[in-house]
Structures are given as structure tokens and as C-alpha cells.
Homo-oligomer: A and B are copies of this chain.
Amino acid sequence: MTMVESLNAALDAEMTADDRVVLLGEDIGTTGGVFRVTADLLKRYGSLRVIDMPVSEAGTVGMAVGMCLAGLVPVVEIQFDSFAYPAFQQLVSHLARYRWRTGGSVSMQAVVRLPFGGGIRAPELHSDSPEALFCHMPGLKVVCPSNPLDAYSMLRWAIRHPDPVVFMEPKRLYRLNRAWFNTMPEIWDGWSAAIARQGSDATVVSYGASMHESLAAAELLEQDGISVEVVDLRSLWPLDKSAIIGSVQRTHRLVVVHEAPRSCGVGAEVVAMVAEQAFESLRSPVVRITGLDTPFPMFSLEKEYIPSSELIASIIRKALFK
């Protein structure tokens, strides 16, 4: 299964399990979405549960808030990362705060699926990585799978979770690789990070598409005799602090890798948290390998922008093991 297929399977499973689950978004019906994540679901569940919306991102997220008030479980697809911006007020002033605004009484059991990131040669404003915005704004949970298995188990968790979840889908991984599984994976616990690779010399914390670069970098470093542990965050807010700290306590070195711009990114938070809570374990300066604090470039340059496995390996080599 590709990630597109496993996400589709997760939606299908939850729609069968719970008829309160409805999907809404632009072009998700007849076409199955621009990435085909909702393929065939219109046919299976009808147009009252798979809703092609007018081109109104704010109206769509607002509609989801109202659906939650009525006890439905909306799953919104935003077509591309940067088209979450017109819905920003609904996401952060309403979806994130509505339970709080009702004195804790009404669940915003909603998922906002957000295909994000570069690497697919997409036009301008189709390659942003805005996850940190949602980590910073209180009231949302933010998660990001790095492989088809997790995509399945995490999306099923997100739909069942009583609080609003921003579900970041790394576009670059949609069809990148396949996972074979005979039985579908279990539903995620909703917060735990995964040790994707064990190692002893440094901890690399990453998520989403950057996980693949980080793992490839670990392979490269292994050839130099450097053993790197790679932690896949999965949950970007809240962080699985004990997994991160546990790893740093073993390796004493911390590197974070992501594609989003650096300043006030998820990497900053991971570093700050460790510098507060596991400072004594650190033996050398931490290292962030991230996108630049400049707009995501026109796509001919995207490979230069996105941290590659070679870059990651070379920085780790120079910074920590020279």
C-alpha cells in the first residue's frame, strides 16, 4: 500500500465504523481529491457523507465546527498546505478553542487533513510546511506520519480522538514507497514517537518526509562508523518528551531535521525542550538542519532547499564528529 492507499483505507474503515464521520473538501468527491486520497468514497458513502465544497476554505472549516456542534465527526481535506491560510481564523480562533469556549462541554472531534511540503515539483505556494503554526496556537493537536503504516493507524486515531487534530500529510511520501501488511496496523496511541533506527552516537529527531532523508543519512554515517539513532516524532504537539529525552540521554547529542523554515519551527521547540529538561545529557552543541527562512523556492530549486540525506550526513559529520 502507498500512503495514499492506506489513508484511503483508514477513512473507509472509520466511515464504516462510525456513521457520524463525514468528509468535506474541494474536489474530494467525483475525482477522489487531487491526490486521490478519498477515491471511491463518494460512491461508497454518498454525497451526504462525502461533500464537494465550494472553493471556501474558511467556510469549510467553519462548517466543520458547526457539524461538531451537531455531533458529527468531520474530516476536512485542505487541498494544499498554503490554502490553510485563508481558513486560519477558523482553525485557531474557533476549531482550536470551541471546546474551551463552551466550558469544556462540546468536543470538536474533527480532523483537518493537510497535504504539505515540497518535492513534487508543484507550483508556487503548493509546497509550504506550516505545521509549526498549529503547534504554536493552543487547542490543536498536530501529527504527521512518515510511512503508510503510521498514516493508517494515525489517521484512524485522529478521527476517533475527541479533540481537533491537524493531520499533516507529507505529499512527497504519498506514492514514494509501499508497505505490505497482511493485517492492518493497530490504532495509534495518539502521542508516542517511534525509534525508527537505533544508534548510540547521536539522536536525530525528525518527522514526515524528512524522516526518509534522516534515515538515509544514518546509512551514510554508518559507513563512517557513526551510529545515529533516528526518532520519528509522529506527534508534533504535544511532543513525546520522554522518547526524545531518553534517546538524548543515550547518545548525548541532538540533531533535528525538518523541511519547514527554521525560526520558531518544531525543531526550535525540540531543542528548547531538551535544553531545559535534559541539558546535562548534552555533550555538544545541538544542530538544526532545516529549510531556510525564505519562501519555498520555485521548484527547480526545491532539492537545494529541502535538507537532503547528503547534507544531513555531512553536517553531522562536521559538527559532531570532526
Contacts and interface: CB of A to CB of B under 8 A. Distances in A.
A295 B260 CA distance: 24
Contacts of A292: 138
B295 A276 contact: no
A268 B264 contact: yes
A226 B73 CA distance: 54
A309 interface: no
Contacts of A272: 267-268, 271-272, 275, 286, 288
Nearest to A292: B138
Interface in A232-270: 237-238, 260-261, 263-269
A87 to B, nearest CB: 9
A287 interface: yes
B93 A138 contact: no
Given A264-B264, A267-B272, A89 B86 contact: yes
Contacts of A264: 132, 135-136, 264-266, 268-269
A88 interface: yes
A136 B100 CA distance: 26
Given A82-B93, A295-B138, A295-B139, A287 B279 contact: no
A130 to B, nearest CB: 8
Interface residues of A, number: 51
A263 to B, nearest CB: 5
Copies in the complex: 2
Contacts of A136: 132-133, 136, 260-261, 263-265
A102 interface: no
Given A85-B92, A100-B294, A124-B101, A275 B269 contact: no
A240 to B, nearest CB: 13
A160 interface: no
A79 to B, nearest CB: 14
Interface in A94-150: 96-97, 100-101, 124-125, 130, 132-133, 135-139
A277 interface: yes
Give me the 6 closest cross-chain CB pairs, A-B, nearest first: A279-B285, A85-B89, A88-B88, A271-B272, A268-B268, A268-B272
Interface of A: 58, 82, 85-86, 88-89, 92-93, 96-97, 100-101, 124-125, 130, 132-133, 135-139, 237-238, 260-261, 263-269, 271-272, 274-277, 279-280, 282, 284-288, 292-295
Given A136-B136, A271-B276, A272-B275, 16 more contacts: A85-B89, A86-B88, A93-B125, A100-B295, A132-B136, A133-B137, A136-B265, A137-B261, A138-B261, A139-B295, A264-B265, A268-B271, A271-B275, A274-B275, A276-B285, A280-B285
